[in-house]
Amino acid sequence: MTDDKVRGGFDQAKGTIKETAGNLTGDERMADEGKLDQAKGKVERGLGDVKDAAGSLKDQVGDAIDDVRR
């Protein structure tokens, strides 16, 4: 798991809390900030997924090259 996924999960949770608190208190600005934090978290988690996939692909290519050399 990459740091991006961890940060993304944290930002999504933080955003949910802020949005809920904003809705409960009638603070539209806080609710909107929560929505932005959630969106930011989703992007960070997506970036983490891409990095994980790229790392996996790199490992597979390296293994294939090693197999060809043998």
Helix (H, G, I), strand (E, B) or coil at 20: helix
Cβ 8 vs Cβ 41: under 8 Å? yes
Q: Looking at 1-70, which runs of residues are DSSP E strands?
A: none
Residue 10 has what DSSP assignment? H
pLDDT per position as a tens digit, 11-70: 999 999 999 999 999 999 999 999 999 999 999 999 999 988 888 888 788 777 877 887
Vertex 32: Cα angle to 8 and 47 (nearest 5): 20
Indicate the pLDDT class of residue 8, thresholds 50, 70 and 90: very high
Residue 45: CB atoms within 10 Å: 19
Give the pTM. Answer: 0.77
